[in-house]
Amino acid sequence: MTSVRPEHEYDPLTDPLPPGAHGSPWFRSDNLAPDASAPVQEPVSPAVPEPAQDPLTQAQQWYEPGPAQHQQDWRPEPQAPAPLPVAEPEIPISAPIFPVPADDGTVALRSAAEVPSPPPVTGGRAERRRAAKGRGRRAAAPAPAPAEVPRTRAEARRAAKARKDSAAVIASRVIGEAFITLGVVMLLFVTYQLWWTNVRAHQEAGSAAKKIAQDWADGRKPDAFAPGQGFALMHIPKLDIVAPIAQGTSKAKVLDKGMIGHYDEDGLKTAMPSDPTGNFAVAAHRNTHGEPFRYINQLKPGDKVVVETQAAYYTYEITSSLPQTPPSNVSVLKPIPTGSGFTRPGRYLTLTTCTPEFTSTYRLIVWGKMVDDRPRSKGKPDALVE
């Protein structure tokens, strides 16, 4: 039992001012009232409270008994028993807890202490930003270790030899490049044959037609036409074709220049349009080099073909055709062509070209007979006017 000193025994001159004096019973308002029986004392300024000390030490200092109270055994009131210590959680309260993907595919709650922290970022701002985005994710797989450097010269030579391509690989690469080159060359050749030869042939045929027209305007009348010399124009209104006719069937001088060649060689000499009777036979390319006879297979009986010379217009009417015959069949060029259906002499027209298209295996033959012979002074024939 703790003894408490009566309020009237408090001596403000000798006893120190305890902390929290404003709540002490000695400073209550009723204790500050003047007492008639108590002797009047001089007011003393309160002492400045000392710094906070241990509660037990303060209690011993505040309630240390004076000389008159040594006989009293004063002890502080017993403290309530301290509660049993609580075991701290495995995860510190200060460590944040958040879901982290586990190795088994589930999401487990782990603290920041269990999650490995990413390595410090030492790069620029972009690297720090990428590192901040990647925090909390699983760390990237470590980079593969560099290949071991050979320690001896023999090992270095073996490693260099292993890195070289084998003979089969080199051979396949060479063959592949050869095929690619061959393909490019063939593509260029096809482009030249199907496009550029036509461009050049049209230019040369146009120049030859202008020269023929100029010779007629100048009044030149040659006695004989040299091989490769143009002397007439052929009109095929149905096919919208106007092409110059030159003497001979030479490929280099006549046919490859986009012109129509007149058979006038030894053994294959045919008549001229102005002859009273005979077979005026001509040839031209069906494909490439201007291809003036490409569509003569579309000519039907009754279609007109006009041969224009310096003196007259000769109009022929298509009568028949032979779709295919060997190149050696020269009987189609006779004065009375074999297979044409003509049985007696007359003034005939024979058109020859290669077939099938893009080949020279066979020949395509188209025949016609003259139906009109008109001098230039009478104007163009009806076939050209219409």
The span from the CA of 87 to the CA of 193, in Å, is 98
The span from the CA of 120 to the CA of 332, in Å, is 98
The span from the CA of 10 to the CA of 63, in Å, is 11
Residues 6+ apart with CB under 8 A from 98: 109, 110, 112, 136
Helices (H), 192-303: 197-218
Catalytic residue numbers? 285, 354, 363
278-283 and 312-325: which strand pairing? Answer: unpaired
The span from the CA of 160 to the CA of 304, in Å, is 79
Q: Three-state DSSP class for 278?
A: strand
DSSP label of 98: E
Decide: 333 and 268 in contact? Cβ < 8 Å: yes
362-375 and 347-355: which strand pairing? Answer: antiparallel
Distances (CA, A) of 188 to 122, 203, 262: 59, 21, 32
The pair of structure tokens assigned to 385 is 């006017």
Decide: 340 and 279 in contact? Cβ < 8 Å: no
Q: Distance between the two ends of the chain, CA-based, in angstroms?
A: 149
